[in-house]
Amino acid sequence: MSADLVAVGMVAVGLQLSLQAPVNGVLAGRTGPIGAALVSFLVGLALIGLLLLITGEASGMAELDRIESYELVGGLCGAAYVAAATFAVGRIGAGAIAAATVAGQLTSGILVDHSGWFGLASDPAGPLRLLAVPILVFGALLVSGDRRGGGRIGFGTIKPLPLGLVFLAGLAVGIQHPLNSSVADVVGDLGAAELNFVVGTVALGLVLLLTGGFGRLRNVAEAPPWSLAGGAIGAITVITSLAAVSSIGASVLAATTIAGALLGSVLIDRFGIAGVSVRPLDRLRILGLFLLAAGTFLVL
């Protein structure tokens, strides 16, 4: 498949990724955000496990002893992100989720590249990349501000707790990708995705056990069937990202996925998809999206 087609496909992957938080948010209404994240991970775990068996790539898991323990932290990063986004989406909307994620992920990426962590070649951040950080943060605040009350000056109403949680989780996502890539070099793309979901599932299960939230999982039966799709969305994103990076490179992969996620989140907010409160696409939100795109370009 040509690189151009892969790039277009990753825009589509970003579009469907924007649905994960709203879909999980519907499920969270019955199970709580940690419970919804756990169910999402269980679905993804089952789907990837089935693919491992069908494709015969399960044999690659025999190389598990070659994986460094710290490389499995990618699964914790993924679990933290899904839980944070599920908690926040009903409070700040899909657009704010995408904006805070982009700002956090790219900021983290700059730090990882600059420091040469996780075995990556050091790529020192120049002035333009450093300038991208405040641009990304400013853009995220413009997109996240709720100006439906009539005030059109300034950011509008911003809820710092859910927004900050998603930003921090976005920082973790920036670390997740290079860790998962290292694991994929040993056990293959599907094996790395499966391990990512195994670690995340165990972590979320422990949190739910410690918080006494397992009882609410029985309410999954009351949720609409489509609210279980969050795990499939996550599985598709992880697998396609690992497979596409060799064809189009990490920078194009990030840009295309981000473009799709931002576009999808704007549509979700604009039309109130999956029960998300309708948020108008005003001028300041458009400006924020432009700044996020500009910041992404500076990073790449």
pLDDT tens per residue across span 7-21: 899 999 999 999 999
Q: Which domain holds residue 79?
A: 3-299
User: What's the mean pLDDT in 278-300?
Assistant: 88
Instruction: Render pLDDT for 221-270 as a digit per residue (tens, 0 to 9).
Output: 999 999 999 999 988 988 888 788 778 877 778 888 888 999 999 999 99
Torsion of CA 94, 97, 103, 109, to 10 degrees: -110
- Total structural domains in the chain? 1
pLDDT digits (tens, 9 = 90+) for 197-222: 999 999 999 999 999 888 999 999 99
Answer for the pair 77, 176: CB distance below 8 angstroms, yes or no: yes
Would you state the pLDDT for residue 161?
A: 93
Alpha-carbon distances, residue 28 vs 37, 75, 84, 178, 285 (angstroms)? 8, 20, 11, 29, 27
Residue 152 has pLDDT above 70, yes or no: no
User: Angle, nearest 10°, between helix axes 283-299 and 127-144?
Assistant: 150
Q: How confident is the model at residue 129 (pLDDT cuts 50, 70, 90)?
A: confident
Q: What is the pLDDT of residue 77?
A: 93
Would you give the distance in Å from CA 111 to the centre of its chain? 18
Q: How far is CA 14 from CA 34, 35, 190, 212, 237, in A?
A: 23, 24, 19, 34, 8
Query: What does the alpha-carbon distance between residue 79 and residue 170 come to, in Å, rounded to a whole number?
Result: 11
| Residue-level pLDDT at 126 | 85
Question: What percentage of the chain exceeds 90 in pLDDT?
Answer: 55
Question: For position 150, what pLDDT does the model report?
Answer: 57
Model pLDDT, residue 243:
80
pLDDT at position 120 is: 65
* pLDDT greater at residue 73 or residue 3: 73
Tokens (6 digits) for 237 = 């994103």
Average pLDDT, the chain: 89
Question: Residue 120, SS3?
Answer: coil
Rounded Cα distance, 11 and 232, in Å: 17
**What per-residue confidence (pLDDT) applies to 96?**
94
Cα–Cα distances in Å, from 223 out to 23, 90, 185, 229, 241?
Answer: 11, 16, 38, 11, 29
pTM: 0.90
pLDDT above 60: residue 162: yes
Q: What is the pLDDT of residue 95?
A: 93
The neighbouring-strand residues paired with 146 are 157
